[in-house]
Amino acid sequence: MSKSVSEVKVLVVDDQPVIVEELCDFLENQGYTCFAAHSTAEALEHFQADDGIGLVLSDLHMPERDGIELMRALKELAGRQRMFEAIMLTGRADKQDVIRALREGFADYYQKPMDLNELLAGVRRQEQALLERRRNFRELGTLNERLQYLADSIDDLYQDLEKARGQGVHRRAGDAPEGESELPAVFDKLSPRQLEVAKLVSKGKTNYQIACELGITENTVKLYVSQALRLTHMHNRTQLALALTPRASPLHQRFTTH
């Protein structure tokens, strides 16, 4: 009966070929796909070439670039989207080196010569930690997508509601009462509440002041401001305020003189 193969691939890095070969053979017999590297440069090549590598077992003391420098380079290559866990191997258990390595991002460490069964238990722990992180990351991405969909749906609902009432959401040219300026057409995309918040922004009010005036939370105000910026394709509150402020007003002049 064949062993199941882990979806997480392992990169083994050590300048001593005998150790790399022993660890790779052992882990492959336990169901892991392994990549052997005898230097930091070789390790980086493997890591960049195969994004299935999620576990790194690295010697701390190596010629040229050590395990800590390797960790820094791996994190730079991985960026924010790719996740991995690393275990440090060392023949000299210097306390300061261990502290430096753990601070740099190594999740665990083992002193040579290793007990292979203990190492295997550590590898499996880090494998589960990695899989959990990946699962949480995917769930967070899905949640963000659902929230965005909900925000868009609410926008569409407001638009449909106004159409059903047989009136535009905002006054257009020629519709504004005397003494009240008409709104730019770009604001037709906003719901009544979004427009209300945008108008308060144009008066120079803070999120806290808007929240108090409308009886909502600051986070809700931030959401409405973000939606208004997105729907009007504006970049910041100042641009939003200028678009809603009459050119002759002192507030418009204050914004445009800077």
- Whether residue 3 is contained in a domain is answered as no
- Model pLDDT, residue 135: 85
More confident residue, 166 or 34: 34
Q: What is the pLDDT of residues 116-171, one digit of tens each?
A: 999 999 999 999 999 998 888 777 767 666 776 676 666 666 666 655 655 444 44
- Model pLDDT, residue 174: 44
Residue 42 sits in the same domain as residue 116: yes
- Whether residue 55 is contained in a domain is answered as yes
Residue 113 sits in the same domain as residue 194: no
- Model pLDDT, residue 172: 43
- Model pLDDT, residue 50: 93
Say if CB 84 and CB 54 are below 8 A apart.
Answer: yes
Q: What is the CATH number of the domain that holds 238?
A: 1.10.10.10
Residue 104 sits in the same domain as residue 222: no
Q: What is the pLDDT of residues 71-117, one digit of tens each?
A: 999 999 998 888 999 999 988 767 888 888 889 999 998 998 889 99
Q: What is the CATH number of the domain that holds 66?
A: 3.40.50.2300
- Model pLDDT, residue 136: 84
More confident residue, 53 or 175: 53
Q: What is the pLDDT of residues 209-237, one digit of tens each?
A: 998 988 888 888 888 898 889 888 888 88
pLDDT band at 245 (very low <50, low <70, confident <90, very high): confident
Q: What is the pLDDT of residues 170-210, one digit of tens each?
A: 444 444 444 445 677 888 888 888 888 989 988 889 999 99
Q: What is the pLDDT of residues 58-75, one digit of tens each?
A: 999 888 888 999 999 999
- Whether residue 146 is contained in a domain is answered as no
158-182 burial, b at 16+ Cβ within 10 Å, e below that, comes to beeebeeeeeebbbeeeeeeeeeee
- Model pLDDT, residue 77: 92
Quote the mean pLDDT of the chain: 82
What is the number of structural domains in the chain? 2
- Model pLDDT, residue 241: 84
* Residue 250 lies in domain: 168-173+180-256
- Whether residue 72 is contained in a domain is answered as yes
Residue 216 sits in the same domain as residue 116: no
Residue 15 sits in the same domain as residue 134: yes
- Model pLDDT, residue 137: 78
- Model pLDDT, residue 238: 87
- Whether residue 1 is contained in a domain is answered as no
pTM of the model: 0.55
- Model pLDDT, residue 36: 96
